[in-house]
Each structure stands twice: as C-alpha cells, then as structure tokens.
Amino acid sequence: MAKWVYSFGDGKAEGRADMRNLLGGKGANLAEMSSLGLPVPPGFTITTEVCTYFYDNKKTYPAELTDEVEKALAEVEKVVGTQFGDAANPLLVSVRSGARASMPGMMDTVLNLGLNDKTVLGLAKSSGDERFAWDSYRRFIQMYSNVVLDVGHHYFEEALEIKKEDLGVSMDTDLKADDWRAVVAEYKKLVEKRTGRPFPQEPREQLWGAVGAVFESWMNQRAITYRRLHSIPESWGTAVNVQAMVFGNMGEDCATGVAFTRDPSTGTNLFYGEYLVNAQGEDVVAGIRTPQHLTVQGKLAQKSDAPAMEEVMPEVFKQLDSVRQRLEQHYRDMQDIEFTVQRGKLYMLQTRNGKRTAKAALKIAVDMVHEGLIDKREAVARIVPASLDQLLHPTLDPKAARKVIAKGLPASPGAASGKVVFSADDAEQQARAGEKVILVRRETSPEDIHGMHAAEGILTSTGGMTSHAAVVARGMGKPCVAGAGDVRIDGKAGTLSVRGTVVKAGETITLDGGTGEIMLGVVPTVQPELSGDFAQLMEWADEFRKLGIRTNAETPTDAAQARKFGAEGIGLCRTEHMFFDGDRIVAVRQMILADDEKSRRVALAKIQPMQRQDFVELFEIMAGLPVTIRLLDPPLHEFLPKTAEEMEVVAKDLGVDVKEIEERANKLHEFNPMLGHRGVRLGISYPEIYEMQARAIFEAVAEVQKKAGKTVVPEIMIPLVATKKELDLMKVVIDQVAEEVSTASGQKLEYLVGTMIELPRAALRAGDIAESAEFFSFGTNDLTQTTFGLSRDDSASFLEKYQQRGIFEHDPFASLDTEGVGELIEIATERGRKVRNSLKLGICGEHGGDPASVFFCHKAGLDYVSCSPYRVPIARLAAAQAALGGPLKTE
C-alpha cells in the first residue's frame, strides 16, 4: 500500500537524503538532519506522488491521505507538547513547497498557520508577548490570503500604510499590540470584501487550503518559467512540508538567517551568510530589509556598521558554525542553510546543495578534492558544463576609466552593460527586440523571473547577498548588485538617482557583480585568464573523456582562441565565410556574374591566392592537428547585393551596368534556397569552383609542410551530398588537383575526402556513400531542418508554443532531437562503419557545444564533436561526464 506522508523530528525520521524524488529536496534533507540529531522542529512531508495524483485526478487527494496527515500531526503535537487548534496552547505550523530540484522562491509558503481569533490569545499568553502574537496573526492573514485566497499583497500593504499614517509612525516596529489587533480586524474586513467570505477560522480548513495552494503553485506561471529555464520536468511535482513553527520574531534574543558553508560567489572556504534580529524567515530572502552579516570577517569585508551575529550571539553562532562543518562533511558539498533562533535556541529549517557561480563551483570542486572530501571523478561530474560559459566571456577591463555612481553588495559576479529598465515585462520585451538591458528594481520577487532571464544584469536597492535577486542571479550566471542603499528607484517616473545623478529609463549603465560597483555608460571589457582551478578541472576532464573536441573556425583569431580553450583541431571551416572580406567579395561577384567558364576561371584565379593564405594561417595555428574544410555551400545569390543602393555600389566596383546585376540576381533567385542550388550541386554545375578551392588547400599544405617539415593532412568535406555519385564526381576533381599540386611542389600530399551527412537520404544510404567517403561529419543544423521539415529561420514564431504544449521538450535546434535526428545518426554510423571500419565520424552543427547532444554523440560512438570556440571547454567537460556515466546533480 502506498505511503503518502513521512514524519521527521525529535532525532528520528522516516525519510532519508536519498529519497528526494519522493520527498523533494527540502523534505529529504529535513529528514536527514533529524536523523543526524540536529535541532530540527518536528513535522512531516506529503510526497511528490500526492502532487502527481492531485493533477491526474481532477485536483483531489488519495483516500488515505487525511488519516496519514492526522497521525503525523498527532506525532508533532506529542513532540512539541502543544495541540493544533487548542485555544490555550496552540501548535502553529509552516506549510512549504519542496520539489526535488531547488526552485528558490518560485512556489508558495505559508507561516504561522493555525492562528485564529481564539488561538492568537493562547499564543499571547504562552509566549508572554501580546504584540508578537497579534503581529504573527496579521502576517498569517496576509500570507494565507495571498497564497490560498488569491488576494494581492498590495491590498494589505496599503491598509498597513494607512494605519501607520493614522498613528503618525513610519516603522512596523513602532506599532503596539493594540495597533496590530486593529490591523488584524482591518485585514479580515479586507479579505471578506475581496473574497465574499470571512477569513477561515478552523485550523484544519486552513491546513488543507495551504496544502492545496502549494500543489497549485507547481503550475503557476513563475514556476513554469523557472522549470523551462532550468530543464525541470513538469512530471516531477512538488512535495509539501508541514513543520512546527519556531519564531525568530519574539524579541531581541531571536533571529532568522540564511547561510552558505562557503562563499557562493567565489567558492572561498569561509562561512558566509546573513541574519536579521527579531524577524521571520521570509524577511531575509524577500529582500525588504537589508540584513546583517553572520561573521565579523564578512562585516569588515563589506564595510558594514551593523553588528555581526558572531558578536551579538556568540554562543548560538558557535553552535551554527559547528552545524555548518558537520553538514558539509556529511553531504560533501557546499550547503545553503536556513535557521531560526528562538529565545537563544538554534533551530535548523533547511539544508540543500547551495546555488553557486561557475567560478565558485570550480573552486569548491577542486578544493574538496585537495581536502580529501571527494575524488577527481566526482569533481568533474559535479560541474554543470553550460555554467562554464560564465567564465569564458569578457570581464571589465581593470585599466578602463569608469564613472562609479554608487556601490552595492557584490551579489553575483560578472560584468554587464545595458539600458536601464524598471520592470520585468519591459526587460523581456526590449531583450526580444535585440536590446541589452539591466533590470533595476527595489527588490526582485519570483514574479520577475522572466525579466531576470532576459536582462544582462540585475540591480536592486534593498536586499542582501542571500536575497531572491542574489540567489536567482547566481543560479542563472547573471551579474547582480544588490542592496545598493544609496540608489533611489522611482519605477513610475522611470528614474534611478544617486546623490544628484539621475539615470533615466533607456540610458546605459554598467554593473560589476564582483565589486558591487554601478557605473555610468559602457565600460570596455577584456578576455578572461583561464588558469588555476579552471585549468586543473579541464585537465581532469581530459583524463576521462573519450570524444575528441574540435572547433568550428575559419579565422585565425577564432582558431587561436579555440586552441587556447583546448580544441584538438578544426571540425568545420566554412570557406564561404572567407569570401565576404573586402577585395574578395568583388572577385566573388565577378565570378558569379560571369557568363561562361573562362570568365569564371579568371575571377576564381583572383580569389585563389587569398584562400590559400587563409588555409596557410589555419594550418600553422593548428600545427598538425586535423582541419576539416567544407567546400562552398551556400547558394550564389547570397553573395550578391540585396538593395538598390548596394547594387549601384557593386556595379560601379565591377564596371558593369546596374541592370546586369539585377538580372543576374533575379536569375539566381530561388523560392527555397535551403533546398536549392547549393553545396555539392554547385560543384556539379561549376566544378571549377571546387577545383579552385582544392588547389588553394593543397598549395597551402605544400607551403606549410615545406616550412615546418611536418605532414599536414587536410580533411576535405563535400556538403549536401545525397548520393554516392555526387561525391564520386567531386572526388575525381579533388584527386586530379592534388596530383597536379604534388607534382608542381615536389611535396607528398596526404588528405581525406569525406562528406557532410545533412540529408535523411544520405543517412539512410550511408553504406553506399562510405564506399567513397573517408569520413562523415553530421551537419545537424540542416539534418534537423530536413528531418523535421522545419526552417530554423522561420520556426522561432511557434517553437516556444510547441515547448509550452509539450510537443517538443527542447528547441531541436539548440539540443539534438535524439529520437528522430539521433536515430538517423545511429543508422548512418552503423551502416557507414559496416562498409568502412576506419570511417571517422564527427558532428559539426551548433549541437556540438550542447552538453545533452555531446552525451548522445558519446553514446552513439562518434569520434569527435565540433563547436564554436567559446563552447570548446563546455564540450570537453560534457564529454568527460558522458564517459563517467553522466553529471552529478548539485545546485
């Protein structure tokens, strides 16, 4: 029989840390901490299977659930010594979500549940603090009404502001017990007015209302957006954790806080966190008050005047530091912990693997290997390959002039420049239009998730290093400056101002998330130095991976950059990209406008020495590593001018009448050029083009071999082949040119001739094609287009809808469709190798840098993947993880 509820607390638990799929991350870790004997308030977890049942059965619950919840609640009452709903000595609980993957702030929480008009009096008596009891009740009404009854927060905030104005006070702390009692009465009236029903007084009705709301929140818009951004399946569902309340807001000997066992921005092994005296848990993360530092070291580093917890609560801090060390030793990973201090006693409310920047992830993994906590395999498996992207892009130039207008907390490292926007919707809209934007808010909330994703960086005027903005930005790899207290933000007027300097919406600022600096205008950037922890982890990754990693490059700059990143050759050199430079395009256009072969050859003779020099440079940079050169692929009309103005310029350059260019452009125009006169079809129609390119390649090989005294083996690739005969005809041209150049130069030339597999027919007839081809390179961009019948350029308008409706799990142009396109790759691999055992196989589409696609390529038995230079380290790490059986999930 299914078990729907698992209890924890009082030094024991029914669950364990490895049950996160069933109990969610929060529930599994609460159970684990209880079993470790840590001070965890008792409670119980309603499993993720109940969430699945809830959505599969018209939002109803399993028949046994009520009884299991009642039994678990009775156990909590027994441990705490209070009764749920008892007027004299009430048990109050929190109700929190907890999916198996951390989704900070994306789903709903209710605190102080169980309070009503009677139990509030019991809480006042048992706590000896009437003000605290009524403050807790008004917080509960506001939170419950927002989460369960769908009454907006702002109604309550407005009512509270009016009350404070009437009393002539500005701070919540100025309100007395009777004032909060009056606020509660106002809140209850407000709820009845907005919902047409009185605020629920029955604690069990409150409990089931909150449980239902948490399950409902799994499908709220912000949770859906977060899941899409982080590839979290909808089918996982969330658990619900019901836990006895402990209070951080009973007085000056109470506190609440969030901490990381190491610095989540840098990875340094220092206790890092924040706390608020006399506050409830959500206050720290919500970013409404700027919290204080846990440690004296943290306080000094941020030049803060507020006392550290280490100073004001030394005994509790000592205990917390001991828990920190114990948890990290136990989980063998950096932990993100939440705690509350109630009247001098420490309680642990959560632990989870902490979200961290890529830089911190590398440092923590490498340090933990040196500390003996984990081994090299685990260190490599822990790093999210895509997160390395954060480290590979430019940072602010330390020598550049910068006009700093304010400084906040360095909440998430990295640098970003962009136009100021004041709402998440504006950020998303302008980013879609191609603008780089910085999202500026007083504080961010989970509703802002879409705007945070769209923005280059995030700036908030309140909140700390553990606020929502900071945690989410670190998880996304976005620069964030938080708690910039000197910045005044007026979203309605569209301005941010700092001591007389006013920045309007649409004006540009630069953020440095590593220093907390906010600067006017754009500050120049420099390439990062990739050494230390990065180099060490990459070295370990290379020990494990089986796949070769090449790069897609045609310029010396890209090729040199890719080599620095560890590329083992060029997997795709697109020769047409070399045609667009200055003088060359004129010669290319002459070739296209030529009426006969003789005129074409004259124009091609001008292009050949330029192409030869390009290849010389690439071969020299690659120093004997393989270089795969794709012969001309795009249709000829792409090289012709499009507008009347451009046509006039070209006519003048070529000394021809503009009508001649118009006529030739019209003649070359195609209704569907992607499937038109391109690739090998051009080579068949105009063999002199491929002949010129082959000559340029072989002459470059001869020159470099002569100079370096080392053999260079180019891999010449024919694009868009559908039949063996096409390849055979081109091979004859290439072989003949090779023989001519070899004779003329006196150099022995070694080379391979192969093909792109980018048409379904080529994949299915791979056995035939392999009789002539010495290698296959899967061009997955076009193979995806031709398999799905989708145009990459036109499908963006509906692909997002397809993902939302669950037709596609991922964009098939970003992450390989392993079922359809993948099956064609597997068929071609099997049939090709059956005919030619030594057949070299690679992939050179954009998918070559996508970790999930790299995993597939490893499984399919390919020899290498090729990707853009900046994705080479990502592919190296993904290939190592594929060899180790997949990544380990940290946060």
Which residues are annotated as catalytic? Answer: 468, 844
What's the residue count for the chain? 891
Q: Of 470, 572, 571, 555, which Cα lies nearest the Cα of 511? A: 470
Q: Which residues pair with 437 in a beta bridge?
A: 419
Q: Of 615, 752, 792, 757, which Cα lies nearest the Cα of 679? A: 757
Q: E strands of 287-426, at which residues? A: 292-293, 335-342, 345-353, 395-396, 403-407, 409-412, 415-421
- Say if residues 109 and 143 touch (Cβ distance below 8 Å): yes
Q: Of 240, 205, 237, 198, which Cα lies nearest the Cα of 219? A: 237
What angle, 0 to 180 degrees and rounded to 10, lies between the N-to-C axes of helices 532-544 and 358-370?
Answer: 70
Burial environment of residue 511 by CB neighbours within 10 A (0 to 12, 13 to 18, 19 or more): buried
- Say if residues 6 and 27 touch (Cβ distance below 8 Å): yes
CA 27 to centroid of chain Cα atoms: 25
- Give residues with Cβ within 8 angstroms of 501, minimum separation 6: 405, 520
Burial environment of residue 596 by CB neighbours within 10 A (0 to 12, 13 to 18, 19 or more): exposed
Indicate the residue type of 416.
A
Strand order in 508-512's β-sheet?
Answer: 403-407, 517-520, 508-512, 415-421, 437-441, 457-460, 480-482, 409-412
- Residue 540, CA distances (Å) to 381, 485, 536, 883 in order: 10, 43, 6, 12
Place of tokens 């308008």: 797
Tokens of 87: 């007027």
What angle, 0 to 180 degrees and rounded to 10, lies between the N-to-C axes of helices 582-593 and 597-622?
Answer: 150
**Dihedral angle sign, alpha carbons of residues 880, 22, 34, 339:** positive
d(CA 804, CA 271) in angstroms, rounded, equals 41
Q: Around 543, how many Cα atoms within 13 Å sit in the side-chain half-sphere?
A: 11
Tokens of 90: 């009430």
Place of tokens 């509703």: 447
Q: Which residues pair with 348 in a beta bridge?
A: 339
SS3 content of the chain, % helix, strand, coil (to 5): 50, 15, 35
φ, ψ dihedrals at 481, nearest 5°: -115, 120
d(CA 411, CA 517) in angstroms, rounded, equals 11
3-state secondary structure of 717: strand
Q: Around 92, how many Cα atoms within 13 Å sit in the side-chain half-sphere?
A: 25
Indicate the residue type of 198.
P
Within 10 Å of residue 206's Cβ, how many Cβ atoms? 23
What distance, in Å, lies between the first and last C-alpha atoms of the chain? 33
H/E element, 518: strand 517-520
d(CA 218, CA 137) in angstroms, rounded, equals 26
Tokens of 197: 């029903």
* Rg, C-alpha atoms of the chain: 32
DSSP assignments along 552-608, one per residue: E--SHHHHHHHHHTT--SEEEEEGGGGGGSHHHHHHHHHHHH-SSHHHHHHHHHHHH
Place of tokens 């993880």: 881
